[in-house]
Amino acid sequence: MKRLFPILSIVTVALLGYALYQALVVAPTDALQGDVYRIIYYHVPSAWTAFLLFFINFVASVRYLARSKASSESAVKWIAIFIGVVGLIAPFLPPVRAKIPAGMEPGAVATTIVLIPVFYFLVGKWFPGDRLDVLALTSAEVGVVFCTIVLVTGPLWARPVWGIWWAPGDIRLTSTLVMWLIYVSYLVLRRFSNSAQTQMLAAALAVFGALDVPLVYLSIWFFRTQHPQPVIGGGGQMDPRMLHVLLFSWMAFLFFGFLVGWSRFRLELLKREVEHAHAMESLVGAEASSSTSLPLSRSAR
């Protein structure tokens, strides 16, 4: 297992290098925006990776909260199964199918929704006990890093193309900002809380934060229909070659995100090990002193 990390690192560096090469050289120049559009190959993959990490945080937090009480565990299990079943059937029903945006295949929508419960059960098995909380913390922190990049590269893209640093009307960028705020407040709560149940409180906040995201999208989407403004990256079809480079770049960033996440995960385990060692040390210290000097007396009945 130890050797896997360096191998993966080399593979990731190679992928990132090749993705960079593709982004700058192979991908065609955009008709409208010229070469500056290539920011998309870093901006969009970072956003997708950040959202994926926040989703992992949400599932891990729900799992952590559910595990604390047996009654809620079975309830959440059934909700997950329900989502899976609905996800499998709904996209193919005619009324729902009409609503799916043109570009997406109902099959694709179904698989993504079904992934949620599948992932929920996998996380439960792979991350027993305390590691679930470590996963939640890690995915939130690394997610915030990727989110920061999205918020930096976004304006850097909007400035040359639209002459504005910030487009409040652009759903994606504005909602990314709100998500960044939510998960930074999540990390701040973890740092400042000195309760024995910090993990529980953080999990509760993570659920609140995740519940908020669809509402953020909803409110900004409607707000935008009333005040139409330029949208970064524009909608509509992408040139297949561009799409290919984008997906490749995303894969490279996913590898990179996985590596950073894994090391942050191991760092957190080490931190908790040190903390445990400190506590045990004071424990062992006490036993050494109490067992020698004080005869443990008969219990007075």
Candidates 153, 170, 233, 242: give the one binding other proteins (CB under 8 A).
153
Q: Which of 189, 206, 268, 185 is nearest to 62 (CA)?
A: 206
Considering only residues 262 through 291, tell me which ones interact with other proteins, judged by CB under 8 A. 263-264, 267, 270-271, 273-275, 277-284, 286-287, 289-290
CB 143 within 8 A of CB 14: no
- Calpha distance 36→108 (Å, rounded): 31
Considering only residues 227 through 256, tell me which ones interact with other proteins, judged by CB under 8 A. 256
Q: How far is the CB of 16 from other proteins (least distance, A)?
A: 9
Residue closer to other proteins (CB basis): 36 or 231 = 36
Considering only residues 187 through 216, tell me which ones interact with other proteins, judged by CB under 8 A. 188-189, 192-198, 200-201, 204-205, 207-209, 211-212, 215-216
For position 5 contacting other proteins by CB under 8 A, the verdict is: no
- Within a 13 Å sphere around the CA of 49, how many CA atoms are in the beta-carbon half? 32
Angle of the 131-162 helix axis to the 106-126 helix axis, nearest 10: 140
Residue closer to other proteins (CB basis): 66 or 110 = 66
For residue 162, CA distances in Å to 31, 42, 194 come to 15, 19, 46
Supply 45's token pair: 């993959």
For residue 23, the SS3 value is helix
Q: How far is the CB of 67 from other proteins (least distance, A)?
A: 12
Q: How far is the CB of 264 from other proteins (least distance, A)?
A: 6
Considering only residues 61 through 100, tell me which ones interact with other proteins, judged by CB under 8 A. 65, 68
